[in-house]
Structures are given as C-alpha cells and as structure tokens.
Structure 1
C-alpha cells in the first residue's frame, strides 16, 4: 500500500471513548478544481465498509463511534477512497483522534500524456510521460497492468516520466498503464490508458527449471520464460550469506539479458554462464529490473545474490532474454 509510507507511523493511543460520536468530513474536487458532486466515498473502518455521497459543494461526512476508530485502545488508520478503476480515483488515510476531524480536500488527477491510447509500442525502450498535478507531489508510481488488470511492472519515480523496456511484455498483447501521484496527505491515481505491445528485440527464452542452493530444493519450471510460482519467504537469509540460483534453459541459445520482477528486497547480483567462471554481468538488483549484456551462448545461468539486509521475498517473475 503506497499510503503506508507517507501516512504510517508509530502506534497512537486513542483519546476517544468507545461510545463517543466521531465525525469525519472532507471534500472532493474534480480534475479542474471544481466541486465533485454526488460521488460515493467509501470508508473502511474496523473491518466494515461504509459509504457516503458528496453534496453539491463536494463535501461528505461520516458519523462513527469511537470504538470504530480503534483496536484495544490504539487508533487505527481509516482508509477513504473515491472513484473506481479504470477511471481516476482517490485514496486517503487518517487516524481519528478528535470527535470532529476535517480532512484535507482530495482532488482527482488524470494527467497522462504519452503514449496515446491504443498505441502499439515499437521501440525496445519506450518513454511514458504525464503532466504533474497542480500541488507538489512526494513521488509518483508508474504501473503497467495486463489485460486482467494485474500488475506487470511498478516503479517509483520523482520525475513525470518513466522509461520501460518492451521486453517486460509479451509480444502482441493488450496492456494498460496508470500513474499514482502521492501527496503528503492522500494519493490520486490517473485513469488507465490501454496500449498494445509490439515485437521486442529481446524475447523470453523457454526455461526448464530453477534451483536454489539454500534451501536445497527445485522450484516448479518456468512456462515459456514466465515464472509462475511465488517463492515468497522461502529465500529469507541473513546479510552475511548469499544464495545461488541456477536457471536451466530448455535448450542452448544466445542469452542477452534478464528480467527480474518481485517486491520487498534489494540485492547485489553476479550473473555467470558457467558456475565458477568470471561474471558476465554485475548489477544492483531491486524489486524490478532488466539487465542486458553481450550475447553468450549457454544452456544455463547462475545468479549469485547477496543482500545488505535480512529478508528476501516475493520473486514473482524471472525471464531469461535472448
């Protein structure tokens, strides 16, 4: 959840009594800054979903009990949202510490610039750009989604643009993209814009299996270069150790790169075409990355990973590119 970094904090004791009435009020604004009237606003509080509607001035109000704003006397973050994908949408988190709380106004934003809707991407690397919102942002998050609306790629950036390699997509498939503008007190997500992938220079190579040195086990095979198995916390290890992954190709071929996708980790990686040979590439690996190098004819790769912190998790996809 993006808001957790911006709005999260230490545990806060609630000063509210369980039966005390608590009023939350806020305001919605359209993209142009005018009132967003007659729109539903959802509030998730204490496991229940509540709905209010904005009035002609864009204002909305929720009436809660103190018990709905806390757990065991600790104030919990209440999540408000407006709008629904694929349209622009808003999200805001708040801890109710007073009987009356006025929230900062949330303004819709939909500033995607290029590429245009339904563009077929042709270059090996493509620039996605957007117009910054009127208010200062902390950062943006670029999201690429498949035809089912599932995330394929997400990256945080401070700039109003992002360069994405075509190799992270399957050729001739439908995708969409969106951008989240994260402000100090809420986030605004643009509408989703459809696009289609063209033919990349680098294509996924079929992979037979992946093996890990720690723990000693063989993971399910890749399917046409796409890793369909969530490793999860099975690769947890201390910062003083490293893990080696062996990736076996279905057949020998010219290997030119690697696409890595996941979350919740960072590591230094050395890539070898032979187990004890000199690395053909070294990279700083974060949640999602793509690496390229001079072509190497091989039937397998060895990846030696070392993390500067404990924990290594959620590897959702590895593609060997040729």
Structure 2
C-alpha cells in the first residue's frame, strides 16, 4: 500500500478533526481589519483598540465615528502548517469595562461585527466587607445577549467559581468556597454570538464567614505532611503525588479529636480525578463505601452527608489524568 506524504497526512488529520483551518492568504499579502465601537450610551467610542496575534500586538485609535482600521501581513495571521489562527481584538474603557472579539482572518478585507461596551453591575458594591456569601446582581445589557457569565476569583489564586445564565436572576456564591478574612474580585460578561462585553472588576473582603476545623496532621504513604493551606506545600506535594490514570493515592487527615464535618474544600490545578471521602474515628482505611464520591477539578467544596462525624478524614484520589499541584485542603463545620 502506498503511503501518503507526511505533510499531507498531518493536513488531513487536523482538518478532519476541525482543529486547523487553512489560510487562503499569502504570507506577504496585506490585510485590513476594520470595526466600530460604541460606549455604554451607544455613542462612538473614543480610545485605543489592540489586535493581538501570536507574533505581534498592534494598537490603533478609533476615529470620531468610533471606527478603527488595522493593517497586517498574511503571515502574521497564521500559525503552524499555514493554519488561520484566532486573533484577538479588544478595547478597554476608562472605567475598566472591555469588549473583545476573536476572529480568524480569511480575507484581505475583514469587517468585524460592531461592539458596544456594558458595565451595569448592581451589587455588592466595590470594596464591600461581607459577613455572608455575596449575591451578584446586574442590570440588563443594551441588547439581549445569549448569556451572562459570572466569574469570581480569589486574590493570588485565580478563578474559584463561575456561572453562566441566560437570565437576570442574581447569582449566590456557595458559602463553603469562601475563606475568612480573604480578598476576592468578580466581574460579569455579556456574551453575544460574535463578541463579549465584560464589566469592570469589583472587589470585596470577607470577615468571619465559615467555621474552619484545623487539620492536626496530614499523612500519605507513611509520610507526614504539615497542614494544607494556600499552596504553601505545593512543591513537595507535586513530588509526593504523581497520580496516574486509573491509579489511586490515599491521604489521611487527622483532626486531633472527633468533629461533625460539613464539607471538605479542595483546591487543585493541572489534574482531573475522582475523590472519595470517608470520615471515621479510626486511622485505619475504612472497608466500607465512601460517604461521598465526586469528580474533582479546580476549586471545589465537597458537601458531606448530614451528621458526618469523626476524627479522621480518609481521602482517596483515583486519577483520570496525572496532576501537578494540590494547593489547599480545608475542613469546614456544618453551616
């Protein structure tokens, strides 16, 4: 059987998977990209627009009508194997709100869909100090979007919670995801078919919001670890926990005495696993079925059944893929 040339094989493989879209543009062919921006009131936006490729970033100003034009060469719109890569066009207003549109350039002259800013946040106010979980609310965008996206980040960590909704119904953050005396920031995006309008960022700080049960000792593979908190031991943990697909590791948390436990919060990155949790008064691995089994990825609060009580929490991770860091484990009393 005659084999295909290597370059053709790769082209067919990637095209069949929908990963690569071949560019029809010549490397030295000049491309002009134009678009129009409006502020929140619908008047022409006056400010800078950036176009970002994997090779370079361009900046242009809008004219009095809110129109901009950016020129580049064909090779700057391409990636490997002559693929037409996604190019990001964005602008930011003085109040911190922004608009963004991603596009693949397939023509020498391309006009973007018009974009309009939006920044109608309601509550909580910026720099609020909260004693309970926040309830994020906002006002309707000028034109009804396909959806609104709510995103909450913990300062110094990254996104810990996000939600997508097609309504204006306010979104309440699960209280167990929050820490006492911690700083957070949040924003909301209005998502349209061709672009995204994102609000400015608001900040808040929590006061005493949850009851944390101290971890006296953490043990795995016969080795003791200090308390898990805020990624302090993530480098040692990356060496200790090399979780492979369909293999398991076990972690024992000693709370020093019996407690009623409401939830276990696990912050992780770079891996996917199934977590099984049991709570007992014995340090021996339980033979019975775990009290809770859940898919684990990112930042999650795993709620335990009512009246879960004991001194030892047995965590068993079954790998779906190898992981890098286990940043934090917190044990919480029932709310």
* Common topology (TM > 0.5): yes
SS in 2 for 1:67: helix
Q: 2:12 aligns to what?
A: none
CA displacement at 1:108 relative to structure 2: 1.4
Q: 1:276 aligns to what?
A: 286
Q: What is the number of equivalent residue pairs in this alignment?
A: 303
Matched, 1:301 2:313: yes
SS in 2 for 1:259: strand
1:84–1:97 CA distance, 2 compared to 1 (3 A): same
Matched, 1:289 2:296: no
CA displacement at 1:93 relative to structure 2: 1.0
Matched, 1:226 2:230: yes
Q: 1:4 aligns to what?
A: none
2:253 to 248, 253, 258: 248
Unpaired segments ≥5 residues, structure 1: 1-8
1:103 to 89, 104, 112: 112
CA displacement at 1:151 relative to structure 2: 1.8
Q: 1:261 aligns to what?
A: 267
1:243–1:32 CA distance, 2 compared to 1 (3 A): farther
CA displacement at 1:289 relative to structure 2: 2.2
Q: 1:33 aligns to what?
A: 42
SS in 2 for 1:273: strand
Distance 1:184 1:262 in 2: 32
**8 Å Cα contact 2:215-2:253 kept in structure 1:** no
1:295–1:288 CA distance, 2 compared to 1 (3 A): same
1:262–1:189 CA distance, 2 compared to 1 (3 A): farther
Runs of 4+ in 1 over 6 A off after TM superposition: 216-220, 230-234
1:94–1:196 CA distance, 2 compared to 1 (3 A): same
Distance 2:187 2:258 in 1: 35
Q: 2:53 aligns to what?
A: 45
Distance 2:322 2:159 in 1: 23
Distance 1:167 1:202 in 2: 9
1:196–1:312 CA distance, 2 compared to 1 (3 A): same
Distance 2:88 2:216 in 1: 42
CA displacement at 1:319 relative to structure 2: 2.0
1:144–1:310 CA distance, 2 compared to 1 (3 A): closer
**8 Å Cα contact 2:29-2:73 kept in structure 1:** yes
Q: TM-score, normalised by structure 2?
A: 0.77
Moved more, 71-80 or 60-69: 71-80
1:321–1:76 CA distance, 2 compared to 1 (3 A): same
SS in 2 for 1:290: strand
Moved more, 183-192 or 50-59: 183-192
CA displacement at 1:69 relative to structure 2: 0.9
1:317–1:236 CA distance, 2 compared to 1 (3 A): same
Please give the root-mean-square deviation of Cα atoms over the aligned residues, in Å. Answer: 3.3
Unpaired segments ≥5 residues, structure 2: 1-17
Q: 1:180 aligns to what?
A: 189
Q: 1:3 aligns to what?
A: none
